[in-house]
Structure 1
Amino acid sequence: MKKELERSINTQRFLIILLYIFLVNVWTIMSGGFWLLFSFSIVTILILVSFYIRDTKNIKKMLDLIMKSERKKTEDNIKQLIYYDDLTGLPNRRLFQKQLDEVIYHIKKNKTNLAVMTIDIDRFKLINDSLGHDFGNILLMQIAERLNRCITENDFVARIEGDKFSIYLIGLNKSEELESKAFHLIQVMEEVYTIQNHNIHISACAGISIYNHNANADLLIKQADIALYNVKEKGKSNVQIYTSSMNNTSLERFNLENDIRRAIENGEFVLYYQPQINTDNNEIVGVEALIRWNDPIKGLVSPSHFIPIAEESGMIIDIENWVIKSACEQNKAWQNEGLPKIPISVNLSTRHFLQPNIVEMVTQVLEETGLAPQFLNIEITESMSVDIDRAITTLQKLKKLGVQISIDDFGTGYSSLNYLKNFPIHKLKIDRSFVRDIKKNPNDAAIVSTIISMAHHLNLEVIAEGVESAEQLSYLNNNRCKIVQGYFFSPPVTAQQLQLKLLKNNFG
């Protein structure tokens, strides 16, 4: 721009001088006289010098203004790149940490309360994997806009990374106030989103750290992250304030992730099988494959200990691929032994269920193992309704393939009645939390009887899991639930033990 400006000014000056010289020479020739021509030459030189001095000053002024403007624009662009998230427009981690350090410096003098809250979206990677990154980006922008609306002028919100947001809050005095604020933010974030004609439901968790006189920005952010990791293990839509005892928990989680990865590589997982009994004749009419981790040091590890972390890290897909294939191989092996042909049930996480290639994967497993589709039952949970349209499409494809579909833990999700009529399913499994107290809690008893009645009206098979007593069994039978699963008949057992039960096939 500097060169272009100089070139333009020089061109204008040159044209003016040419015109002036031309007019002077014409006039001199017409009027005659050497001294006159000499006088005009002197005047021309003086004018040229004055032009040069004036233009040099003007050019310098104009160039200074332009350079200042360009420098300011460049500085603003660099600042935007360094300190702001290019997707949401929110401050990024670098600016958040810088601002937090400044706030800490001031509150040390003013003795004001300060807390850092880190919020993470549950199963966000599932949304990205199932609906695409563009869809996920739109969701993040809408979440950022909601958070911005909910903070005061003294607070500060930033997108730290991925689906994680951090906020520092000034002036809240008590833990109860911080928790209340966190739950309010989560509630706002969890209101339904409508994106590209999809209704999206999300959940979120928050970890909180509270400033003390020894803390700096790095430490507060780290402590909020540790609290967040701890609270995510407790379930969705929850809040946790950091305590020093959580440091050990965070290290344990890190080690557990590495152990799970090693277990996949070394083949340390095994399947146990729990029979499903028809109480009319006490025969086995189905079996559920349940994963266990045979750790070489700890022994058998319960799935409740490692499945949530496997789901969050994405390792669940490799684990469940192995479960489906192993279960199908085992059922086919039992059939080849001449044992009763019954369906085998496997659990599929929402993250795995919404993978684009899930139907192809199931088809390939059935072809490789030789198991007929009607002898595989896939159990899914109601949380798959995060993308209801894709869920229905996938269910229809699986049903067309011949695979049976069950909804596991029915009654615990928010979508039970809204979406049930649209799901092409075969069975409902009543969650054990309702079965456990049906003889003690009238509300649980009412829920169980309602689910059974609804299933019958929809021509669905209903299975009660977690049956552990004769009283529970009697209530279920009286309410026309004839297929049950639980310790009253059998705990989960090895393949060899179940084979013996199938040979007898009578629990009377």
Structure 2
Amino acid sequence: MDEHIPLIQQMANSMNDKEFEDTLEDLASALDKSVIIAITDRTGKITYVNTLFLKMSQYRAEELLGQTHSIVNSGYHPRSYFKNMWATIGKGEMWHGELRNRAKDGSIYWVDTKIIPILNDAGVPVRYISIRYDITERKMIEEKSRIDAEIYRLITENALDFISVIDPDGAFKYVSPTHAKMLDLQKLTSGDIYDIIEEADRLTFEEALHMAKRTTDAVSVEFQVKDKANCLHTMLASLKFIRQEGQYLNCVVVSMHDITVQKESETIIQDLSYKDQLTSLLNRTAFSKRLYDRLQTEKRKGTSISLVYLNIDRLRYVNDSYGQDTGDYVLSVVADRLKKALSKEDLIGRISGDEFAFTILKAADEETAERLTKDIKEKLEEPILMAEKTNSISISCGMVMYPEHAQTPSELITKAEKALHFVKEHGGGGVKMYEPGTATKTLERILLENELRKSVQMGHFTLEYQPKMNLYHGELSGVEALVRWNHPDLGRIPPDKFIPIAEETKIILPLGEWILREACKQAYNWQQRGYKPFRIAVNMSAVQLDEPTIVETIQRILTEEKVSPEFIELELTETSFADRVEMRHTIQRIRDIGIQVAIDDFGTGYSTFSYIKELPADILKIDMSFIRDIDVNENSRAIVKAIVTLAATAGLEVIAEGVETEKQANVLIELGCLEGQGYFYSKPLPAEECEFMIPKIDE
């Protein structure tokens, strides 16, 4: 159309008005289907519009004729835009521009517009012809591209990730502004990605880069970089090869995220998970795992080793006489002496409060093992300075041989414990090799076991409920059901005395079933009486989880007691994670029912963070030992913060146990832990007393 504009001007100047309008009608008829045409007089009033104009504007011809083009003005362009247009066509020159118009129904359309002035003999415009093309679709694409570019700019400038594009050799083709937070942008643009990666990690990155070229999936790689201040940061990067045609074809998009804080938190948790915090020795879980690996080596070699289980006799008297700090000092001295007495290849662990275990790899037979153990015992019993006084300590040792007496870590530890118990029952201070049939049951133990069996049958147990609170709002969020043994003759027997016996004798199976059923009954009772529903947490031991029918038992109890699974939570002890592969399946089946699973006493070293990432779980319960001094001990605060951070990473809820003061609660809130339980809120209560803390639905 553009090339015909001079011809149209020539025609207009050579014809009278009538001839010109007739000619234009013929021309308009031909162009009507492809070009939007309008004619205005010298004042801008519309004198002609073609069919396509009517279609685009959605006005009828009678609504447009006599009006100005302001009728379709969308208000998008500034006044200066139209002022420039009139100035141009007023001088008899053609104006070309893009206009955003508004149709009668309010919808917007864009037109590419040329306005051609028709001049009289004096060169003064007498009318104007506007020729327009619909460019709405193109403008929408441009607008979307502009918005996408703006969004991308905002993302790349404000995101936490560091986004770049590199060529196949690692040279930077694009670097997002976020890199300036950590690195020198000027150096980046002239270098390659290997310049910022620590030398030890460059090969790892190169391998990941090659892998990204061979797959359509994103490839993850972890490496370290040094920032402008020469500090190391751990980065997790995603590499994606570009296969689309364009400027960056065959390049790789690198999206890096700084996970330094997360890695530091994980290191703290891993340290908690594998080391005893007082002595830096292996804890029980780590010792068992390392012992398993050691036994596999000895099995291949066909050699024997000895395992020694050690107890510091009467350490509680040291605590009572000199205080807990002195008792901890004795433990640390014994640990240091064990490290010096044993070889670097031997394993040493602190199994519980005053008990240690260690291997003697060079003990090929029982006689050698006993001789070496007695030598070690003598070194451990050398006098220790306590409160400016020199005191002697007594050590008891139980021993077992691999493979003669047992072939698994759990069996070796159990039999070494039995040999140790034999020594303790005979006054302590000795060394005893395990003998099949060694008696380890004291009269008290025999009595408790017999009474425990009878009490389960006769119903001497009750449940108490300790509230769990939302620390921020001070509202009840749930309760934990705690079993209590009220023996008619022996009185109230603490759980730490009868639960281990119940687990060892498997009396825990009927007792545990009774606890779950009783908790479900109470949940149903509270709901029927109009109390707001909440979860009741029930403790479950590894012995129960080992039962092949445990999931079916849980389902049956829930059905029979008419309780929805969402109102029951199971708390698992650290021993539940001894066999991760089998337990994962069982725990997942329990969660599939709809029951939430909590990991109890987290942070004591028995439950490792690696387990948490592998096992299906919903909640972490931070052990009270970290809460006790959280308001005064920076280490405890750091540990709790690390647990909260990593729990959030794994998508787990966190609850703190043992909250006893308002200060502790406030510190927990600051650290991001918003749920807790402890005596600051309430001690465990009978059901009827607990009801005073439970709101009703209509309140």
TM-score bracket for this pair, using the shorter chain length = 0.5 to 0.7
Cα shift readout 1:442-501 (whole Å, capped 9, x = no counterpart): 222211111112112222111001000111111101111111100000000001111222
User: How far apart in 1 are the matches of 2:426 and 2:649?
Assistant: 42
Aligned to 2:669: 477
The 3 A distance-change label for structure 1 pair 294 and 230 is farther
The 3 A distance-change label for structure 1 pair 443 and 241 is farther
User: How far apart in 1 are the matches of 2:658 and 2:448?
Assistant: 28
Matches within 5 A, 1:155-194: 155-156=366-367, 169=371, 172=374, 175-176=377-378
1:385 aligned residue (541, 561, 577): 577
Aligned to 1:289: 481
User: How far apart in 2 are the matches of 1:364 and 1:140?
Assistant: 46
- Alignment of 1:372 with 2:530, yes or no, is no
Cα shift readout 1:346-396 (whole Å, capped 9, x = no counterpart): 011112122211111111111111100011100112322221111111121
User: How far apart in 1 are the matches of 2:568 and 2:301?
Assistant: 40
User: By how many angstroms is 1:283 displaced?
Assistant: 1.5
The 3 A distance-change label for structure 1 pair 142 and 436 is farther
Aligned to 1:452: 644
The 3 A distance-change label for structure 1 pair 147 and 486 is same
User: How far apart in 1 are the matches of 2:524 and 2:657?
Assistant: 25
State the secondary structure of the residue aligned to 1:438. coil
Judge conservation of contact 2:621–2:654 (CA < 8 Å) in 1.
yes
Cα shift readout 1:250-299 (whole Å, capped 9, x = no counterpart): 22112111121121121111100001011232211111000110111233
User: How far apart in 1 are the matches of 2:688 and 2:617?
Assistant: 31
User: How far apart in 2 are the matches of 1:267 and 1:428?
Assistant: 32
User: By how many angstroms is 1:312 displaced?
Assistant: 1.7
What is the letter of the counterpart of residue 366 of structure 2?
A: D
The 3 A distance-change label for structure 1 pair 207 and 417 is closer
Aligned to 1:416: 608
- Alignment of 1:307 with 2:516, yes or no, is no
Sequence identity, in percent? 35
1:467 aligned residue (653, 659, 682): 659
Judge conservation of contact 2:465–2:690 (CA < 8 Å) in 1.
yes
State the secondary structure of the residue aligned to 2:578. helix
- Alignment of 1:400 with 2:592, yes or no, is yes
User: How far apart in 2 are the matches of 1:482 and 1:223?
Assistant: 46
Aligned to 2:528: 336
The 3 A distance-change label for structure 1 pair 177 and 294 is same
Aligned to 2:55: none
User: How far apart in 2 are the matches of 1:266 and 1:327?
Assistant: 18
The 3 A distance-change label for structure 1 pair 432 and 153 is closer
User: By how many angstroms is 1:439 displaced?
Assistant: 2.2
State the secondary structure of the residue aligned to 1:367. helix
Aligned to 1:46: none
User: By how many angstroms is 1:171 displaced?
Assistant: 9.1
The 3 A distance-change label for structure 1 pair 203 and 358 is farther
User: By how many angstroms is 1:146 displaced?
Assistant: 4.0
Judge conservation of contact 1:286–1:344 (CA < 8 Å) in 2.
yes
User: How far apart in 2 are the matches of 1:502 and 1:477?
Assistant: 22
The 3 A distance-change label for structure 1 pair 265 and 224 is same
- Alignment of 1:226 with 2:422, yes or no, is yes
- Alignment of 1:147 with 2:305, yes or no, is yes
Matches within 5 A, 1:6-85: none
What is the letter of the counterpart of residue 336 of structure 1?
A: Q
Judge conservation of contact 1:295–1:301 (CA < 8 Å) in 2.
yes
Q: After the TM superposition, which of the residue ranges 364-373 and 421-430 deviates more from structure 2?
A: 421-430
What is the letter of the counterpart of residue 448 of structure 2?
A: L
User: How far apart in 2 are the matches of 1:299 and 1:184?
Assistant: 33
State the secondary structure of the residue aligned to 1:334. helix
The 3 A distance-change label for structure 1 pair 144 and 489 is farther
| Structure 1: segments with no counterpart, 5+ residues | 1-121, 124-137, 158-166, 209-221, 232-238
Judge conservation of contact 1:290–1:492 (CA < 8 Å) in 2.
yes
The 3 A distance-change label for structure 1 pair 436 and 153 is closer
Matches within 5 A, 1:102-117: none
Matches within 5 A, 1:121-136: none
User: How far apart in 1 are the matches of 2:426 and 2:470?
Assistant: 41
Matches within 5 A, 1:310-329: 310-329=502-521
User: By how many angstroms is 1:207 displaced?
Assistant: 6.2
The 3 A distance-change label for structure 1 pair 361 and 184 is same
Aligned to 1:492: 684
- Alignment of 1:270 with 2:472, yes or no, is no
The 3 A distance-change label for structure 1 pair 414 and 490 is closer
Aligned to 1:116: none
User: How far apart in 2 are the matches of 1:146 and 1:414?
Assistant: 28
Matches within 5 A, 1:228-247: 241=430
User: By how many angstroms is 1:155 displaced?
Assistant: 3.0
User: By how many angstroms is 1:418 displaced?
Assistant: 1.4
RMSD of aligned residue pairs (Cα, Å) = 4.1
The 3 A distance-change label for structure 1 pair 181 and 250 is closer
Judge conservation of contact 2:397–2:430 (CA < 8 Å) in 1.
no
What is the letter of the counterpart of residue 176 of structure 1?
A: E
The higher relative CO (CA closer than 8 Å, separation ≥ 6) is in 1
Aligned to 1:38: none
The 3 A distance-change label for structure 1 pair 227 and 495 is farther
What is the letter of the counterpart of residue 321 of structure 1?
A: E
What is the letter of the counterpart of residue 226 of structure 1?
A: F
User: By how many angstroms is 1:329 displaced?
Assistant: 0.9
User: By how many angstroms is 1:441 displaced?
Assistant: 2.6
State the secondary structure of the residue aligned to 2:604. coil
User: How far apart in 2 are the matches of 1:139 and 1:476?
Assistant: 45
User: How far apart in 2 are the matches of 1:369 and 1:318?
Assistant: 17
The 3 A distance-change label for structure 1 pair 270 and 227 is farther
Judge conservation of contact 1:276–1:288 (CA < 8 Å) in 2.
yes
The 3 A distance-change label for structure 1 pair 442 and 226 is same
User: How far apart in 1 are the matches of 2:440 and 2:396?
Assistant: 24
What is the letter of the counterpart of residue 261 of structure 1?
A: R
State the secondary structure of the residue aligned to 1:204. helix
Cα shift readout 1:65-109 (whole Å, capped 9, x = no counterpart): xxxxxxxxxxxxxxxxxxxxxxxxxxxxxxxxxxxxxxxxxxxxx
User: By how many angstroms is 1:229 displaced?
Assistant: 7.6
User: By how many angstroms is 1:435 displaced?
Assistant: 0.7
Judge conservation of contact 1:207–1:240 (CA < 8 Å) in 2.
no
Cα shift readout 1:13-60 (whole Å, capped 9, x = no counterpart): xxxxxxxxxxxxxxxxxxxxxxxxxxxxxxxxxxxxxxxxxxxxxxxx
Judge conservation of contact 2:467–2:476 (CA < 8 Å) in 1.
yes
2:413 aligned residue (180, 204, 222): 204
What is the letter of the counterpart of residue 204 of structure 1?
A: I
Judge conservation of contact 2:305–2:364 (CA < 8 Å) in 1.
no
May I ask how many residue pairs the two structures share in their alignment?
330
The structure with the greater share of residues assigned to strand is 2
What is the letter of the counterpart of residue 467 of structure 1?
A: V
User: How far apart in 1 are the matches of 2:475 and 2:491?
Assistant: 32
What is the letter of the counterpart of residue 269 of structure 1?
A: F
State the secondary structure of the residue aligned to 1:428. strand
